[in-house]
Amino acid sequence: MLIAGNWKMFKGPAAARAFFDGFEPPADVDVVFCPPFTSLEAALESGRTVYAQNVHWEPRGPYTGEVSPEMLVEVGVAGALVGHSERRQLFGETDEMVARRARSALDAGLGVIACVGETLEQRESGDTELVLKIQVEAISFAAGDRQNLVIAYEPVWAIGTGKTATPEQAEEAHAFIKGLLDRPILYGGSVKAENAAQLLAQPSIDGALVGGASLEPDSFAAICRAASTS
């Protein structure tokens, strides 16, 4: 079971160090942290597994504000998120861009958590499976037979809204994705200590990508404990 904490644009280096001073997860759960770029080195001091929140597809060049896979390798991080719904929705990232980021990171030896998911409008119009098929197949084609890839299903309508897919909705989407690509799949979408156990008990859910609830050591540790007993 893999539990990843995406800190988004929270926690500078001092706050990151303070978090790890109070974080005690169970030993049998794989935990990944995705802090902001400025806090990568502080997070690495903890000895935990650290991923970046994004990565570019080129090794170097005139790409202001971007960070290459080779730079992440040099810092010592283990991988990167790609295609988070906020990157897609707020910064215009396309399926092609997400796929290129995934391929470049995997080629550099990094692990990748690639995010997919539908908007509320797409779900209500009955297009969930079509959207997921397009997104997953783009990532699958880019990844090829590289194994260090995890998919995160995050329904966009459940990101930062307090809404959560029911365990049945999440399981249905995860089972569909597994039919397209046989890789571990995390659920992301307002995962909290209160709902984690029920979500993680679903047979096709292999872990969670946690946003806001990963910012406090106690709440994140509680989600990790729920994964330990699932």
CA atoms of 41 and 221, how far apart (whole Å): 22
Show the tokens assigned to 200: 């993680």
Q: Which of 56, 84, 86, 174 is catalytic?
A: 84
User: d(Cα 49, Cα 33) in Å, to the nearest integer?
Assistant: 6
Q: How many CA atoms lie within 13 A of 161 on its CB side?
A: 15
Active site residue 174: no
Measure CA of the first residue to CA of the last residue in the chain; give whole Å. 8
Out of 86, 118, 154, 171, pick the active-site residue. Answer: 154
Catalytic residue status for 168: no
Distance CA 182, CA 206 (A): 12
The helix-helix angle for 95-107 and 128-143 (nearest 10°) equals 30
CA distance 185 to 32: 14
Beta bridge partners of 33: 5, 50
- Secondary-structure breakdown of the chain: helix, strand, coil percentages, each rounded to the nearest 5: 45, 15, 40
* Length reported for the chain: 230
Task: Tell me the catalytic residues.
Answer: 84, 154
